[in-house]
Amino acid sequence: MANDIAIVGYAQSPSLRQAELTEPQFLFPVISEAIERAGVERREIGFTCAGSCDYLSGQTFAFVMNLEAVGAWPPISESHVEMDGAWALYEAWVRLQHGDIDTALVFGSGKSSPGLPAEIYPLQMDPYTLTPLGADPVSLAALQARAMLDAGKITEREMAETATRSRKNAIGNPYAQVTGDDDPETLLKEPYVTAPLRRHDLPPISDGACAVVLATADKAKALSKRPVWIRGIDHRIDIHQPGMRDLTESPSTRIAGKNAGVGKGKVDVAELSATFSYQEKLLSQELGLGDGVEINPSGGPLAANPVMAVGLARFAEAARQIAERGKKRAVAHATSGQCLQQNLVAVLEGD
Amino acid sequence: MQERLTTHTIEFPYTRTLGPVYSAFLTGMRDGQVLGIKSRDGRVLCPPTEWDPTTGDALDGDLVPVGPGGVVTTWAWVTEPSRKHPLDHPFAFALIKLDGADTGLLHVVDAGGIDSMQTGMRVVPRWKQERIGHITDLEAFVPEGSK
């Protein structure tokens, strides 16, 4: 079937509420570090693919500026997705299947601080029935959380426990923005932001970037002592209108997980783009992750949410668990759109 | 230093059609009537779509009136509305399954306070006086019997 592709280098920027630097400026060291870790020469890279969101910059083709951080002279072969960098990784994975090149650079970046995300994201939705209502990500997530609460599929206490664990896990993570050791009781005393969601149920607003270097099998073995193999990867989409599906399920996650082969072996650790607290349990169940699976040891998106890099960062963190922490098999998940509309799942393994 | 201002007017010098389904749906809004569409399996979808969401088959434009009332299937209480929200005071976003429809329409409920909201409650539309063929011609839903 597919050729084996490995992650041979990765790097992230710290997630900040407001980065002083421009996006190309904070991308530059991240890309350089990922390439250095991979041990390749910049000129060897056969394909470059980026994920970012022009809406955040309020400017068409804003993503072209980010190539300043890559070094595009002499001309390089590159592409861009208006999605999280995880989908750029998917495109690079497909490109490497052709076999004519052996390395690819992937990055995702976003600077959410200059604008108001609650006012920007409705612009990406159905322009006739959803955008005019100003349907923002937090309100839509709150609809999904309420549906799960009403169905008895989660409790507010469980949501607070997820937030608590994320913040504690993030204490050791130098890239994290939200850390802490509050217990669930303390968090549950806070008022609702958009009921039934409290502040701890929401991701932070972050500026940040992530980069990953991929290589084909022979190249990966030559470059790295511990290549992290992508054993399976798939992405699926549910219908756009939030009222046309059962919000307490995520069929796209289930199908992508099955196609990626999540259930074919024991999973040690999973890095999930559970951008809102309630999503972690939903995703875990759809992916069939049992009690023995460590979820989001980095703290996950509740601790750092660099939009357009947060999904790719799940790949970097899952790869770290294998390359640096001795884990054997990991799941990386990314999401896009409202209420987990689009989901990408990959299975990563060490040798 | 004196602040210097300039005004730009961006124009799109063309008209476009919304197609057979959204065009009928939004014309219905102008007339104070919400429309759904029958899918291949006999369900009524509201808001209507040009394609069956499950199979991808084209739907033949068989639009049917739904509502005016309906049931709240899930909701979120917005304490601090943004400039882009249709109401300037606290309100609920809700998915509303209108009578005769099998799916939820996203809209707002002007309920006064969070204590007036609950899943399963019945709501009815409050229409604007001047309607232009826009989703916000339906100003808000309100709890049934609250007027």
pLDDT digits (tens, 9 = 90+) for A176-192: 999 999 999 999 999 99
Mean pLDDT in residue range A306-314: 97
Which of A135, A193, A244 is nearest residue B53 as measured by Cβ atoms?
A244
pLDDT at A80: 97
pLDDT at A1 over 80: no
A328-339 pLDDT, tens digit per residue, is 999 999 999 999
- Would you say A210 and A313 are in contact if contact means Cβ atoms under 8 Å apart? yes
Mean pLDDT in residue range A206-221: 97
Q: Which residue type sits at B117?
A: M
pLDDT at A277: 98
What whole-number distance in Å separates Cα of residue A216 and Cα of residue A136? Answer: 40
Min Cα–Cα distance to chain A from B2, Å: 24
A150-176 pLDDT, tens digit per residue, is 999 999 999 999 999 999 999 999 999
Mean pLDDT in residue range A14-23: 95
Q: Which residue of A has its CA nearest to B95?
A: A243
- Would you say A250 and A258 are in contact if contact means Cβ atoms under 8 Å apart? no
Residue contact A196–B76, C-beta within 8 A: yes
Banded model confidence at residue B147, pLDDT cuts 50, 70, 90 = low
Q: Take residue A5 and report the two structure tokens written for it.
A: 């592709």
- Average of per-residue pLDDT values in chain A: 96
pLDDT at B1 over 80: no
Residue contact B119–A150, C-beta within 8 A: yes
B91-110 pLDDT, tens digit per residue, is 999 999 999 999 999 999 99
Conformation bin of residue A16: beta by default, left when phi > 0, alpha when psi is -120 to 50: beta
Residues 6+ away with beta carbon under 8 Å from B142: B109, B110, B111, B123, B124, B125, B126
Entry pTM: 0.95
**Maximal C-alpha separation, chain A:** 58
What whole-number distance in Å separates Cα of residue A170 and Cα of residue A299? Answer: 4
Residue contact A118–B82, C-beta within 8 A: yes
pLDDT at B14: 86
Min Cα–Cα distance to chain A from B77, Å: 5
Does A243 contact B at CB distance below 8 Å? yes
Does A134 contact B at CB distance below 8 Å? yes
Taking one residue from A and the other from B, the number of pairs with CB-CB distance under 8 angstroms is 101
**Neighboring chain A residues of B76 at a CB cutoff of 8 Å:** 139-140, 142-143, 145-146, 194-197
Mean pLDDT in residue range B9-24: 89
Residue contact B82–A241, C-beta within 8 A: no
β A294-295/A269-271 pair status: parallel
Mean pLDDT in residue range B55-74: 92
**Neighboring chain B residues of A130 at a CB cutoff of 8 Å:** 106
Mean pLDDT in residue range A281-288: 98
Q: What are phi and psi of A272, to 5 degrees?
A: -110, 140
Q: What percent of chain A has pLDDT over 70?
A: 100
Residue contact B106–A241, C-beta within 8 A: yes
Banded model confidence at residue A68, pLDDT cuts 50, 70, 90 = very high
Residue contact B77–A142, C-beta within 8 A: yes
Residue contact B135–A193, C-beta within 8 A: no
pLDDT at A228: 98
pLDDT at B136: 97
**Neighboring chain A residues of B85 at a CB cutoff of 8 Å:** 133-134
ipTM: 0.94
